[in-house]
Amino acid sequence: MIGRLSGILLEKNPPQLLVDCNGVAYDVGVSMSTFYNLPGVGEKVVLLTHMAVREDAHLLYGFGTADERNVFRQLIKITGVGARIALSILSGLSVTELAQAVTLQESGRLTKIPGIGKKTAERLLLELKGKLGADLGAAAGVAHSDSGTDILNALLALGYSDKEAVLAMKQVAPGAGVSDGIKQALKFLSKA
């Protein structure tokens, strides 16, 4: 397996790159979030990679961060989600935004991505729940406990935006019950 490429960026044709590694040029598929963070043509680039071996091709996918590669690997394990759809998801949502969507079970965020219908979005939410890792959820600022999810859903049902609800959740005392957590969050939101 090829786990990392370090070389000179020869070509940038979204979503494909051509990276020269000591005289051998690799064709690498990347998400748009990785693509936008690349250096210019002719400059040195380092990408973490995932190699997919199929009957008709050996394909290489590149990522700017380990989190993005890990999420890609989780996505391609899901029935009906191939590498192209996984790259599309990572192009439409950051890793943190995807973790938030999964934690809050928001299929609407996923259906906005080209190639993702309602059924696929629901399957993604079901399959990824609990698999994105506590570190990604923490990066999203979302509590993983059942009470945390209930508090978030209550705030969203009351009409607060995702951003407001997540910000209010950061003010809730750890281990607070649902009713106490909602009160604390609403108290914070009333002052904001």
Q: Show Cβ contacts of residue 134 under 8 Å, excluding neighbours closer than 6 positions.
A: 144
Q: Do 76 and 120 reside in the same domain of the chain? A: yes
Q: Do 114 and 72 reside in the same domain of the chain? A: yes
Task: Return the pLDDT at 1.
Answer: 82
Task: Return the pLDDT at 137.
Answer: 44
Rounded to whole angstroms, the Cα distance separating 63 from 73 reads 11
CATH number of the domain where residue 88 is located: 1.10.150.20
Neighbours of 97 (CB within 10 A): 14
Phi-psi region of 155 (alpha: psi -120 to 50; beta: other; left: phi over 0): alpha
Q: Do 31 and 93 reside in the same domain of the chain? A: no
Quickly state the pLDDT bin for 123 (edges 50, 70, 90).
very high
Q: Do 159 and 179 reside in the same domain of the chain? A: yes
Angle at 163 between CA 161 and CA 169, to 5 degrees: 100
Residue with the bigger pLDDT between 7 and 188: it is: 7
- Region 46-57: mean pLDDT is 94
- Point out the domain boundary residue: 12, 40, 63: 63
Q: What is the Rg, in whole angstroms, of the alpha carbon atoms belonging to the chain?
A: 19
Task: Return the pLDDT at 157.
Answer: 78
Q: Do 40 and 14 reside in the same domain of the chain? A: yes
Among 54, 48, 55, residue whose Cα is nearest residue 72: 48
Among 142, 92, 87, residue whose Cα is nearest residue 113: 92
- Point out the domain boundary residue: 63, 84, 108: 63
Q: pLDDT tens, 124-173? A: 999 998 787 444 444 444 444 567 777 877 887 788 877 787 788 888 88
Q: Do 107 and 165 reside in the same domain of the chain? A: no
Q: Do 72 and 134 reside in the same domain of the chain? A: yes
Task: Return the pLDDT at 118.
Answer: 92
Q: Do 133 and 152 reside in the same domain of the chain? A: no
Number of domains present in the structure of the chain:
3
Quickly state the pLDDT bin for 12 (edges 50, 70, 90).
very high
Q: Do 128 and 148 reside in the same domain of the chain? A: no
Does 183 score more than 50 pLDDT? yes
Q: What are the CA-CA distances from residue 116 to residues 10, 16, 69, 82 (Å)? A: 32, 21, 20, 12
Neighbours of 42 (CB within 10 A): 9
Q: Do 118 and 147 reside in the same domain of the chain? A: no
Task: Return the pLDDT at 18.
Answer: 96
Task: Return the pLDDT at 164.
Answer: 81
Task: Return the pLDDT at 145.
Answer: 53
Q: What is the pTM of this model?
A: 0.70
Structure tokens at 97: 């935004």
Q: Do 40 and 73 reside in the same domain of the chain? A: no
Neighbours of 11 (CB within 10 A): 12
Among 88, 104, 97, residue whose Cα is nearest residue 67: 97
Q: Do 122 and 160 reside in the same domain of the chain? A: no
CATH number of the domain where residue 49 is located: 2.40.50.140
CATH number of the domain where residue 173 is located: 1.10.8
Task: Return the pLDDT at 192.
Answer: 67
Does 85 score more than 50 pLDDT? yes
Domain boundaries, position 181: 143-191
Task: Return the pLDDT at 152.
Answer: 78
Residue with the bigger pLDDT between 152 and 14: it is: 14
